[in-house]
């Protein structure tokens, strides 16, 4: 292990006292057993209660859960627990995904003796004796689905486990459901068979969907490009792949990588120079390809080829920026409009010795100049030069800057660029309008061919690099259909999104999707009912399975309900899920009792639609869009999804989890190190508000959480029911803070802003309680009881075992997990009382500063401002609330005064400008004075001097005129 990895691994290790962890784990085991005994989270229809159905994408069971998946499902559990406490009948079910190639590929690699797979299994705690069993793909499914369930139970997930299931034909009940879904899609004309480009694995000979790739390659799809043929004087064709065929008019030369090896291949009867990758891609796109030999890039340098549109001969030159594995490996150079080309040409001109190293003369490039082709507002006639010089690019090796410049130029030129006279008959046309016409003309002239390719390398889970293949016998979901897209857009418009800003991305993706290959061969999954040699791929069988959760209680338990897979004919699902057909006739044809069919129908209609689906951001471009597409295709409008929440990934110590970095943490490791509640706590504090930003898990936060949570149980047990009975005015302040916090935390919970809610409910409120103790000396009994109860209940969704223990410790019956969520008593929320207390706090802080310079002072005079100043600041505050800048608000307020008062008011301008916070602390003078007089004893104790509160008009203190509302003048003597 490297030093860096060793350091990272050490940084994620727990440092908390192990005995404390054992104590918190005993508490967790106790409450998990009680939940199971009470069957607390089993949810059945209850027409007398509102329902809430929340789901998490079922995980792929080829490994144990790590902190990443645990982070997202925790947000689901927090939602479920919160909604139960708000009175909802909550369904939170969980299944396991096994469809697709990853498990099959891993089992195959194990059979081949792959050490990486063996090592990965060992690292997860699988014994050497058990590893051979993983050669069978089905063993992975059974083994890891059990492991996931055990880990999630330990994690405190409030799941109805009666509805657990896994996918593939290993579960014939689920397969019958998937078969029905695809029969419905075919019936609606949303399935087709034809010729389409797909991402293809040449090693495994199969379509590669997102789930068949490592995560970093998800969402990358075939794109249309153009290969332009430059015919060499040597009889070879130099094919250059481009996404900008309109720029062929500005080509000055061709680039190859001098150290690369190229093929000479006969492509459709012509001898082409290209890389091996493109030769394979073209062959899979119905081109005739025959490899004839190989040639080095170095040997191609200096050769001349003809630009097919200008007729000019252009040289083949060396460029290190060329990736010989991208495109054809041959690049056409347009230095006026392509930053990489501009810099590479400049490099050769400035360092002619680079040409000499290949036996080429500097004369070859001396006369080459950029050929302007596109006019763009805000740029010179050579936009690439502008973008390069603005970034100070020194050479073609500065790839990051050049990539940035390229994106800038390409976007500007495509959307706003206008072609010049160099483009011939397209002169004066916008690039965006002329591009397709130019492409068709080039193809028609035999100067180009259209191809599909991937914008960057994409790898299959088997390790092979994929390419684009045109298939003609593949089954496709016709996402390109306008009427299907229209329904999907309507669903998106009707849904809630957390955060709201992702709504537009869903609209964009619905428009972007074309037809989707939904069948594979040689994988786990459900066979296509009308063409069983094909298996429905992993994303495509994961679109409406939330409906299956409502039925899994019946279907996955034949020992209870007696349903057999062969009884699940399509008419069963038609009735249960769509309400079509006569249940008596369905019962007669299937043998399922009428009462059972009606019960399943009632179960579905009670729970559906899905109220909220929470997912990681990586599933936005595929699964979540498909989730919408398929629901609108299958179900009536009232059963369309109601909401989607997304979150970023989890970082550990500020970095993406990686075994090589030593910061990869399995959920079961975290549960061993910190227990469930501290792990949950640290994951929430890592950043569990909705959004696309990644959260950052810190081991130190989990360490402290163990102490904080045990400390709360101890505090609740030792303090509940204690306190004084006589009231102080500061009790009004604490009650206001407490009730306002309850109100604000509830609002945050409703918006899924869980980190913000937890910080306010626990840490902020405890800080306020500590201040309350300082002010009051001891708490009021009723306020303390309300504080303990409210905090315990507000942390219950986050740290449920801790909440249960504290709830029991204070003598409460039943479970905190289903106790009513605290409701704020808004009659006790008094903002003016809270502002008055803020004045007391500020006086304490300011007084400490004053006394720092008056070390021998024995008395502090606190001077409350005159009444007219309160009227003035009230005017200013009103104008600020109307949107006026502070300076304007002050000026307008003073101008509204009678002339006789303006002079003295003007003297306050510097003070108000210096201390604008007084506007937010503004209260009636009488309330401020009362708060300060009642706090005088407290201030005296804190400051160790006598504190006297005076009115400005009655005081003789120096500088008393500097008193402002919310900021009394202070004088030490």
Averaged over 432-455, what is the pLDDT?
95
Q: What is the pLDDT of residues 714-755, one digit of tens each?
A: 999 999 999 999 999 899 999 999 999 999 999 999 999 999
Alpha helices, DSSP H, located in 53-165: 67-85, 102-111, 115-123, 137-154
Q: What is the mean pLDDT of residues 184-190?
A: 97
Which pair of structure tokens corresponds to residue 83? 């909604």
Residue found under tokens 């005296």: 940
Handedness of CA 712, 714, 719, 720 (dihedral sign): positive
State yes or no: pLDDT of 511 exceeds 60: yes
Report pLDDT digits (tens) over 807-828: 999 999 999 999 999 999 999 9
In 3D space, the residue among 856, 848, 786 whose CA is nearest the CA of residue 822 turns out to be: 786
Read off the pLDDT of residues 296-309 as tens digits, 9 standing for 90 and up. Answer: 999 999 999 999 99
Query: 4 pLDDT exceeds 70?
Result: no
Residue 658 has pLDDT above 90, yes or no: no
Which band of pLDDT confidence, cut at 50, 70 and 90, is reported for residue 6? Answer: low
CB half-sphere exposure, 56, CA atoms < 13 A: 28
d(CA 715, CA 707): 12
First to last CA, the chain: 66
Query: 192-237: per-residue pLDDT in tens?
Result: 998 878 889 998 888 887 667 877 787 788 899 999 999 999 999 9
In contact, 277 and 467? CB cutoff 8 Å: yes
Q: Do residues 925 and 965 lie in contact, with contact meaning Cβ atoms separated by under 8 Å?
A: yes
CB-based contact 258:373 (threshold 8 Å): no
Does the pLDDT value for residue 762 go beyond 90?
yes
**H or E element in which residue 232 lies:** strand 223-232
pLDDT digits (tens, 9 = 90+) for 868-926: 999 999 999 999 998 989 989 999 898 888 887 888 888 888 999 899 999 999 999 99
**Paired sense of beta strands 331-333 and 859-864, if any:** unpaired
The rounded distance, in Å, linking the Cα atoms of 552 and 567 is: 15
pLDDT range class, residue 10, cuts 50, 70, 90: low
**What average pLDDT does the segment 586-612 reach?**
97
Find the mean pLDDT for residues 576-603: 97
pLDDT tens-digit readout, 317-369: 999 999 999 999 999 999 999 999 999 999 999 988 889 999 999 999 988 99
Which pLDDT score is estimated for 183?
97
- Residue 146: its pLDDT value, please? 96
| Position 112 pLDDT exceeds 90 | no
Is 7's pLDDT higher than 60? Answer: no
Picking from 205-209, 240-244, 373-377, which range would have the lowest pLDDT averaged per residue?
A: 205-209
pLDDT of residue 8: 55
Confidence check: pLDDT of 5 > 60? no
Q: State what percent of residues in the chain have pLDDT above 90.
A: 83
Distance CA 31, CA 620 (A): 36
Taking only the tens place, the pLDDT of each residue in 48-105 is 999 999 999 999 999 999 999 999 999 999 999 999 999 999 999 999 999 877 788 7
User: Is residue 647 predicted with pLDDT exceeding 80?
Assistant: yes
Count of C-beta atoms within a 10 Å radius of residue 175 = 21
Task: Name the average pLDDT for the chain.
Answer: 94
Alpha-carbon dihedral of residues 347, 350, 352, 353, nearest 10 degrees? -80
- Per-residue pLDDT, 9: 64
**Which of 243, 223, 250, 228 shows the shortest CA–CA distance to 435?**
243
Query: Residue 1 — very low, low, confident or very high, per pLDDT cuts 50/70/90?
Result: very low
CA distance 756 to 824: 18
């Amino acid at each position: 292990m490297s030093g860096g990895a060793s350091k990272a691994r050490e940084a994620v290790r727990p440092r908390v006292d192990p005995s404390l962890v054992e104590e918190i784990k005993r508490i967790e085991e106790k409450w998990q057993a009680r939940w199971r005994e009470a069957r607390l989270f089993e949810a059945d229809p209850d027409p007398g209660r509102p329902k809430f159905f929340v789901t998490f994408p079922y995980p792929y069971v080829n490994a144990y859960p790590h902190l990443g998946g645990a982070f997202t499902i925790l947000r689901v559990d927090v939602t479920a627990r919160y909604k139960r406490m708000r009175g909802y009948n909550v369904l939170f079910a969980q299944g396991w995904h096994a469809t697709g190639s990853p498990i099959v590929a891993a089992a195959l690699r194990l059979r081949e003796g792959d050490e990486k797979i063996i090592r990965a299994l060992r690292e997860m705690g699988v014994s050497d004796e058990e590893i051979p069993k993983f050669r069978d793909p089905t063993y992975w499914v059974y083994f890891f689905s059990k492991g996931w369930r055990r880990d999630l139970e330990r994690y405190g997930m409030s799941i109805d486990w009666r509805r657990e299931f896994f996918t593939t034909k290993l579960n014939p009940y689920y397969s019958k459901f998937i078969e029905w879904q695809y029969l419905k899609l075919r019936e609606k004309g949303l399935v087709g068979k034809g010729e389409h480009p797909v991402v293809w694995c040449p090693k495994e000979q199969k379509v590669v969907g997102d789930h068949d790739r490592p995560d970093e390659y998800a969402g990358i799809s075939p794109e249309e490009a153009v290969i332009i043929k430059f015919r060499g004087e040597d009889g070879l064709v130099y094919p250059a792949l481009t996404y900008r065929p309109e720029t062929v008019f500005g080509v000055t030369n061709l680039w190859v990588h001098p150290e690369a090896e190229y093929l000479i291949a006969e492509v459709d009867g012509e001898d082409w120079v290209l890389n091996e990758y493109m030769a394979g891609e073209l062959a899979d796109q119905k081109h005739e390809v025959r490899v004839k030999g190989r040639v080095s890039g170095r040997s191609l340098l200096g050769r001349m080829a003809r630009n097919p549109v200008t007729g000019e001969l252009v040289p083949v030159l060396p460029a290190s920026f060329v990736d010989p594995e991208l495109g054809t490996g041959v690049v056409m150079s347009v230095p006026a409009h392509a930053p990489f080309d501009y810099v590479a040409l400049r490099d050769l001109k400035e360092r002619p010795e680079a040409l000499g190293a290949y036996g080429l003369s500097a004369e070859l490039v001396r006369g080459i100049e950029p050929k302007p082709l596109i006019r763009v507002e805000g740029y010179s006639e050579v936009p690439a030069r502008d973008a390069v010089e603005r970034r100070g690019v020194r050479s073609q090796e500065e790839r990051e800057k050049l990539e940035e410049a390229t994106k800038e130029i390409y976007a500007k030129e495509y959307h706003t660029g206008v072609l010049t006279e160099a483009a011939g008959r397209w002169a004066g046309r916008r690039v965006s309008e002329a591009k397709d016409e130019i492409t068709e003309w080039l193809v028609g002239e035999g100067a180009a061919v259209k191809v599909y390719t991937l914008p960057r390398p994409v790898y299959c889970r088997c390790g092979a690099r994929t390419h684009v293949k045109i298939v003609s016998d593949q089954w496709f979901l016709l996402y390109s259909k306008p009427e299907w897209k229209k329904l999907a857009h309507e669903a998106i418009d009707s849904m809630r999104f957390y955060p709201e800003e992702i709504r537009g991305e869903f609209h964009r993706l619905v428009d972007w999707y074309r037809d989707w290959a939904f069948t594979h061969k040689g994988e786990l999954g459900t066979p296509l009912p009308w063409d069983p040699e094909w298996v429905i791929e992993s994303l495509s069988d994961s679109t409406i399975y939330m409906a299956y959760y409502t039925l899994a209680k019946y279907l996955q338990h034949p020992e209870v309900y007696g349903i057999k897979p062969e009884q699940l004919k399509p008419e069963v699902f038609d009735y249960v899920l769509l309400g079509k057909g006569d249940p008596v006739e369905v019962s007669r044809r299937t043998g399922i009792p009428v009462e059972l069919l009606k019960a399943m129908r009632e179960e579905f209609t009670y729970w559906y639609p899905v109220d909220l689906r929470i997912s990681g951001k990586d599933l936005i471009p595929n699964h979540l869009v498909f989730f919408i597409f398929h629901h609108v295709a299958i179900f009536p409008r009232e059963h369309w999804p109601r909401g989607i929440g997304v979150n970023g990934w989890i970082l550990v110590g500020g970095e993406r989890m990686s075994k090589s970095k030593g910061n990869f943490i399995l959920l079961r490791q975290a549960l061993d190190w910190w227990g469930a509640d501290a792990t949950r706590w640290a994951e929430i504090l890592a950043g569990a508000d909705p959004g696309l930003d990644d959260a950052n898990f810190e081991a130190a936060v989990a360490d402290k959480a163990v102490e904080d949570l045990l400390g709360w149980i101890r505090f609740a047990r030792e303090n509940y029911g204690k306190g004084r009975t006589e009231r102080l005015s500061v009790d009004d302040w604490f009650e206001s803070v407490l009730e306002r916090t309850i109100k604000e935390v509830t609002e945050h919970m409703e918006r899924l802003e869980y980190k913000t809610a937890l910080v306010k409910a626990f840490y902020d409120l405890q800080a306020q309680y500590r201040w309350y103790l300082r002010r009051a000396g001891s708490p009021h009994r009723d306020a303390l009881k309300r504080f303990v109860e409210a905090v315990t209940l507000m942390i219950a969704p986050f740290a449920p075992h801790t909440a249960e223990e504290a709830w029991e410790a204070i003598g409460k019956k039943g479970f905190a997990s289903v106790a009513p969520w605290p409701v704020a008593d808004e009659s006790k929320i008094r903002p003016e009382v809270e502002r008055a207390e803020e004045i007391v706090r500020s006086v304490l802080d300011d007084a400490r500063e004053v006394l720092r310079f008056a070390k021998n002072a024995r008395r502090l005079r606190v001077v409350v401002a005159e009444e007219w100043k309160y009227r003035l600041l009230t005017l200013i505050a009103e104008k600020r609330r109307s949107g006026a800048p502070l300076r304007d608000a002050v000026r307008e307020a003073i101008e509204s005064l009678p002339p006789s008062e303006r002079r003295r008011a003007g003297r306050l301008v510097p003070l108000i400008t210096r201390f604008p916070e007084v506007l937010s602390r503004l209260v009636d003078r009488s309330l401020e004075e009362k708060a300060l007089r009642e706090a005088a004893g407290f201030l005296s104790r804190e400051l160790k001097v006598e504190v006297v509160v005076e009115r400005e008009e009655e005081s003789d203190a120096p500088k008393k005129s500097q008193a402002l509302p919310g900021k009394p003048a202070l004088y030490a003597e």
